[in-house]
Amino acid sequence: MTEPVTMDKIVSLCRRRGFVFPSSEIYGGLGSTYDYGHYGVLAKNNIRSLWFRAMVQERDDIVALDSAVILNPRVWEASGHVAGFTDPLVDCRTCKLRFRADKLEDANCGRKPSKRPGETPDCDLTEARQFNLMFKTQVGALEDESSAAYLRPETAQGIFVNFKNVLQLARRKPPFGIAQVGKSFRNEITPGNFLFRVREFEQMEMEFFVPPADADRWYRYWVDERFNWYLKYGLRESRLRRREHSADERSHYSSATTDIEYLYPIGWSELEGVANRGDYDLTQHTQHSGSKLEFVGDGGERYTPYVIEPAVSIERIFVALLVDGYDEETVAERERTVLRLHPAIAPVKAAILPLIPRNAEMVEKARGLYDELRRRHVVEYDDGGQIGRRYRRQDEIGTPFAFTIDEQTLGDDTVTVRDRDSLAQERLPLGGVAAWLDEALDRPWSSPKEA
C-alpha cells in the first residue's frame, strides 16, 4: 500500500468488522467513549495477556495487584492530583466552546472551523484557568464535600498505597515490581483521534521499586525492555522511537521520562511513557498517611525505594497495531484490505472453511476440525457466502491462517492452509492440522509491510 494509513480508514474498518463502536450510539454517543465488539474484545484480551505474561508470568521479580477504582480521596491529595492534575482552559463567550489554552493551534473556531480560536474578530476568549481532569463522584448517600471522591486517573496510586502489604505478604525486597491493569478515567478537554485520547481507558502500569543508587540503570533497562516488547509483537522499528523529556516537560513527580513514540496518523505521539518517579510517591504517602512506606533490610538498613514506571494504555497499543497492520493491495485484479497483525495479537487464529457449504461431507469434516482446534485457540467456522468473500472477511480481521476443506479432502484427508500475508497455500494432512497450527502460532513474525 503506497497511500498513508489514515485514522478514518482505521475507524471505518473497526466499525465495519465490529471491533469498536461509539459508546451509547443510539443516543448520539458520548464524546470520546467507545464500546468494544467481539473482535475488539479478543484483541484487547490478547494485548493484556501478552503484557501480563512479559511483566509477571515470565519474571520472578514482579507480582500482580488489582486495586479499587475509587480510593480514599486523600490518596489524590497526597499524590498531587487534586492540586496539579490540571490543564489550562479557555472559554469562548461567542461560540460557547472550551479549548486547551496550550493547544489552541490544534483547535478549530466554533463559528469558522477553518480558523483557530481567537483568530476571528468575533472570538471572545476568557483568561486561561486551571481545570482538574479527575472525574468527581459521591460515595454514600450524602451529597456534600465530605462524601466527594474521584474515579482514579491512573492505576499507579493504588499500587503505592499497597506497597507495605505487598512488601510484607509477598516477602519481596527491592528490586521488585507490582503490576496492575485496570480502567482509568480522565475528563480530557480535547479528546479525540479515535481511541488515542479517550475519557475512559485501560491502563497497564508497573511500579518497579529499586535501591536509589540503581534507579538510573533500571530506568534505562525498562525503556529498552518495553521498546523491544513492541518489536516482538510486530510494530515496525521505523515507526517507533524513544524520546527523552526535557526538564520543563516532565510531570511533577518525575526526575526522568522517556516516551516510546509511534508514528500514528496524527504524527509521532506517545505510545508508552517510562518514568523515574524517584521517591516522590512513597514519601508523599508516608507524610500524608503517617504510615512509613520504606524498605527495612535484614541488617537494619532502611531507605525509601525509587520507582521506575512503564505506563501505557491498551487503547494506544491497539491503535498502533491497527495502523501498523492495515494494508490494501490488489491481488489477481481484486482489491483486498488486510490487517497484518502478529498472530499472537490477531483476534482469531484460524478460520475453518468448507469450500461447498451444501456438501454435507465437507461440512462434517470442517465441523470436526473446528471442534478440535477451538479447544486450544480462538478459531472461527465460516460457511457463509463465496469462498473469496470468506477469505476477505478473515483478512480484514487479521486471521493469519485459513484451512479449507474441499473435494480433495474427501478423497485423501488433506486440507489447504492459506497464509494471510503471502497468500501461499499448501496441503496438510487433516490429522496434523492442530500440531501445525500450534507450531505456526509460535513462530517469530515480522511485518511484511515496507518500513
Residue ranges binding ligand GAP (CB under 6 A)? 154, 156, 186, 188, 197-198, 201, 203, 205, 270, 272-273, 309, 311-313, 315-316
Distance, in Å, from the CA atom of 283 to the CA atom of 104, rounded to the nearest integer, reads 36
| Cell reading at 59 | 519474571
Smallest separation, CB 371 to ligand GAP (Å): 39
Mapped onto helix, strand or coil, the DSSP state of residue 242 is: strand
Closer CB to ligand GAP, 100 or 197, in the complex: 197
Distance, in Å, from the CA atom of 28 to the CA atom of 21, rounded to the nearest integer, reads 12
Distance, in Å, from the CA atom of 171 to the CA atom of 219, rounded to the nearest integer, reads 23
Nearest alpha carbon to residue 445 among 394, 388, 401, 390: 401
Report which residue's Cβ sits closest to ligand GAP: 313
Distance, in Å, from the CA atom of 270 to the CA atom of 261, rounded to the nearest integer, reads 4
Smallest separation, CB 368 to ligand GAP (Å): 43
Smallest separation, CB 184 to ligand GAP (Å): 7
* Region for 413 from its dihedrals, namely left if φ exceeds 0, alpha if ψ lies in -120 to 50, beta otherwise: left
Smallest separation, CB 98 to ligand GAP (Å): 16
Closer CB to ligand GAP, 91 or 270, in the complex: 270
Distance, in Å, from the CA atom of 271 to the CA atom of 221, rounded to the nearest integer, reads 18
C-alpha distances (whole Å) from 314 to each of 37, 43, 202, 362 are 15, 10, 6, 40
Closer CB to ligand GAP, 279 or 309, in the complex: 309
Q: For residues 140, 146, 151 and 155, what is the CA-based torsion angle, rounded to 10 degrees? A: -110
Residues 6+ apart with CB under 8 A from 184: 151, 152, 153, 154, 155, 200, 201, 202, 203, 313
Smallest separation, CB 182 to ligand GAP (Å): 12
Angle at 260 between CA 254 and CA 264, to 5 degrees: 130
Count CA atoms closer than 13 A to 299's CA, side-chain side: 2
Closer CB to ligand GAP, 310 or 400, in the complex: 310
Closer CB to ligand GAP, 116 or 250, in the complex: 250
Closer CB to ligand GAP, 278 or 343, in the complex: 278
Closer CB to ligand GAP, 188 or 216, in the complex: 188
Closer CB to ligand GAP, 86 or 408, in the complex: 86
Smallest separation, CB 316 to ligand GAP (Å): 4
Q: Which residues pair with 312 in a beta bridge?
A: 204, 272
* Integer Rg of the chain from CA: 25
Count CA atoms closer than 13 A to 11's CA, side-chain side: 12
Smallest separation, CB 343 to ligand GAP (Å): 24
Closer CB to ligand GAP, 270 or 294, in the complex: 270
DSSP line for 73-134: THHHHHHTHHHH-EEEEEEBTTT--EEEGGGGGG---SS-TTS-TT-STT--BPPPEEEE-S
C-alpha distances (whole Å) from 166 to each of 55, 133, 158, 179, 307 are 16, 29, 12, 11, 15
Closer CB to ligand GAP, 198 or 351, in the complex: 198
Smallest separation, CB 201 to ligand GAP (Å): 4
Smallest separation, CB 334 to ligand GAP (Å): 36
Smallest separation, CB 247 to ligand GAP (Å): 16
Closer CB to ligand GAP, 315 or 395, in the complex: 315
Smallest separation, CB 194 to ligand GAP (Å): 10
